[in-house]
Structure 1
């Protein structure tokens, strides 16, 4: 009798979001102002910030593009809280989700970055479309 040893899945199948997620070093509270977010984005040279609620859970993601309408009027930036802006909100991905499925969801939703949260909604990191694509298209080696 011949037995077959299961082969590892090919081309990214079997990978999860946890295999591809990156830490997110930059976060902002949802009650901070647009002006404060803009200062962080410019100072750090980054394109997005994860938004935390008052309880520390992920509320979404804000980008420079999303802040642009508020930045055109200086008095708005000083008084407008991040929570009042149109920014990417949930649902978010979780670390156990299949990477191929997450990549499809990101394409459908037109997301370049997707927050990764635990079962309680706390931020674990981010999944970028670029990183997911690289991992899914790299042959096993």
Structure 2
């Protein structure tokens, strides 16, 4: 695995994305339909799904709110694959990225959750805006 340089922004010295990374529990293939994703949202009571491509690499994150336009018509939900929907796509975070830099990026892009990938594009985990902010606030005290 190639490492990436850590750029300090003066906040949270030494903290990296790996320190805040959490496991992701739910994922779905990009050729799955909107209807299938909606079934998972309903049964698992989660706010997002990690979307992976046919090789298993991270393709993005889809939220239930992002699928609302497709849920209005049953024809769309049954036939539209997730890869054809608008959802959060890369670039993604990497484990050695400075946590303060990740916080800035998430704030600018308005991301609540951000996949963390390895150099080959496979998901290692996720970071959430709440966890990142909490960790940086704790270190700043």
**TM-score, normalised with respect to structure 2:** 0.90
Give the number of equivalent residue pairs.
132
Once the two structures are TM-superposed, the CA of residue 13 in structure 1 deviates from its matched residue by: 1.8
- Residue 42 of structure 1 pairs with residue 75 of structure 2: no
Q: Is the 8 A contact 1:50 1:58 kept in 2?
A: yes
- Residue 89 of structure 1 pairs with residue 67 of structure 2: no
Structure 1's unaligned 5+ residue stretches are 1-9
Partner of 1:138: 138
Once the two structures are TM-superposed, the CA of residue 42 in structure 1 deviates from its matched residue by: 1.1
2:66 & 2:77 partners in 1: Cα distance? 13
Give the superposed CA RMSD.
Answer: 1.4
Partner of 2:17: 17
Partner of 1:29: 29
Partner of 1:111: 111
1:85 & 1:25 partners in 2: Cα distance? 21
Task: Give CA-to-partner distance per residue, 1:57-87, whole Å, 9 cap, x none.
Answer: 0000000111000000011100000000000
SS at match of 1:138: helix
- For the pair shown, the structure with the greater C-alpha radius of gyration is 1
